Structure formats: structure tokens, C-alpha cells
Amino acid sequence: MYATAQLLASPGTGSASDFIRDLMTVHGPSVLASVRRMVRDRALAEDILQETMVRAWRNADRFDPDRENGMRSWLLRVARNIAVDKFRARKVRPVEVPESNALAIGVADPCEDALRAIYIRTALARLSEAHRAVLRECYFNGNTIAEAAQVLGIPVGTVKSRLSSALRNLRDQLADQADAA
């Protein structure tokens, strides 16, 4: 293994692959361990390490070998800056959710919504006008049972009975349509 001074001499005298390989051999494990503790994600830590090594190669001429902290300190600072940049970028850009996860948390497919609306319209059309009127007043117009009874001019008990019957009928029809589909 090369010492830090030999590593820094490599860009001008040896090949880029030799320099990076030697840099990874000497400092890679400790930089990777530090970055993993920082980001808590091995794949991201490896990406940051790779980018750190590329930046080290590109900027090796700017490193002062006489500096007291040495090459490892320089690499750790570069890696930390890259990690901070990645975290900032994630905060600016919303996290992408795979479609399968979106469906699992209840984001419905527009086609399913349209199909469901057709089923409901068909089921409502099969109800009697009296049952549809009670549903319209209680659910679509937002009236209470007493208000629906007043608007429709029928007793409260009749509204309750028709509402119960209409909902049961709708539930049965929608279950039959779901079984058929």
C-alpha cells in the first residue's frame, strides 16, 4: 500500500485506476463506515463513497499533503458534503411512491371509480321512486330524517323504513354486481 504522499503522486505518475484502487484500499473502508453511520443506508453510502473517490481523483492537485489532518480527513469532509447535498435534494423533491404502494394505501384507479359509479347509478335506477326520493333527501341533500319527512310530506317512521329498505336493496344489488364482475 502507498502512503498518502504516494497516493497523491499517483495522479501525475500512475494511472487513474491505480490511484483510485489504492485510495479505496487505504481509506475506502473507514470512509464507507463513517458514511453508513451518517446515512444509515448501505446503497446510498456506497454511492456517496464512489462519488467521493471520483471527486478526490479530480481534485487531488488541490490537496496539501503537509496539512495536519491528512487524506482521510479530506475524504470524510468531501463525503459529508455529498451526503448533505443528497439529503437537501431529497427535501426539495417529493418522495416518489411506486404505483403498487399507492394502490395499497387506498389511492384508487380512475377506471375503478368510473366502474363503481356506473354500478351505483344502475342500482339506484332499479329502486322505486319513493326509495330514491328518501335517499336523495337524506344523503345527497344532507337532510336529517325529520327534515326529509317534512320535505317529502310523509311521516318520520315511513322515511326511516324506506331509507332502511333502500340501503338494503342497494347493498344487495351492488354485491350481486360485484359477484358478476
pLDDT score of 2: 38
Pick from 92, 118, 142: which residue ends a domain? 92
* Judgement on whether residues 88 and 112 belong to the same structural domain of the protein: no
Pick from 52, 69, 92: which residue ends a domain? 92
Identify the CA nearest to 1 among candidates 20, 25, 31: 25
User: In the 8-state DSSP scheme, what is residue 141?
Assistant: S
* Judgement on whether residues 78 and 114 belong to the same structural domain of the protein: no
Answer yes or no: is 12 within a domain: yes
Cβ burial of 36 (10 Å; 0-12, 13-18, 19+) is middle
Answer yes or no: is 151 within a domain: yes
Compute the mean pLDDT over every residue in the chain, rounded to the nearest whole number: 80
Check whether 136 has a pLDDT greater than 80. Answer: yes
* Judgement on whether residues 130 and 88 belong to the same structural domain of the protein: no
Answer yes or no: is 163 within a domain: yes
DSSP 48-113: HHHHHHHHHHHTGGG--TTSSSHHHHHHHHHHHHHHHHHHHHHHHSPPP--HHHHHHTT---HHHH
CATH number at residue 9: 1.10.1740.10
pLDDT in tens, 8-61: 444 445 566 776 787 788 888 999 999 999 999 899 999 999 999 888 888 777
CATH number at residue 116: 1.10.10.10
Pick from 57, 92, 127: which residue ends a domain? 92
CA 67/CA 53 separation, integer angstroms: 19
Answer yes or no: is 144 within a domain: yes
* Judgement on whether residues 8 and 79 belong to the same structural domain of the protein: yes
Residue with cell 468531501: 78
Answer yes or no: is 100 within a domain: no
Half-sphere exposure of 57 (CA within 13 A, CB side): 18
* Judgement on whether residues 87 and 117 belong to the same structural domain of the protein: no
pLDDT score of 15: 63
* Judgement on whether residues 10 and 35 belong to the same structural domain of the protein: yes
Mean pLDDT of 68-75: 76
Q: Which domain holds residue 67?
A: 4-92
**CA distance to 7, 16, 20, 127, 135, per residue, from 142 (Å):** 77, 74, 71, 20, 10
Answer yes or no: is 24 within a domain: yes
Helix axes 4-13, 70-92, angle to 10 degrees: 70
* Judgement on whether residues 84 and 149 belong to the same structural domain of the protein: no
Answer yes or no: is 98 within a domain: no
Q: Computed from CA positions of residues 50, 68, 11, 2, in that sequence, does the dihedral angle turn out positive or negative?
A: negative
pTM of the predicted model as reported, rounded to 2 decimal places? 0.45
pLDDT score of 4: 45
Check whether 116 has a pLDDT greater than 70. Answer: yes
Domain count, the chain: 2
CA 116/CA 174 separation, integer angstroms: 9
| Cell triple for 78 | 468531501
Answer yes or no: is 97 within a domain: no
* Judgement on whether residues 49 and 126 belong to the same structural domain of the protein: no
pLDDT score of 11: 47
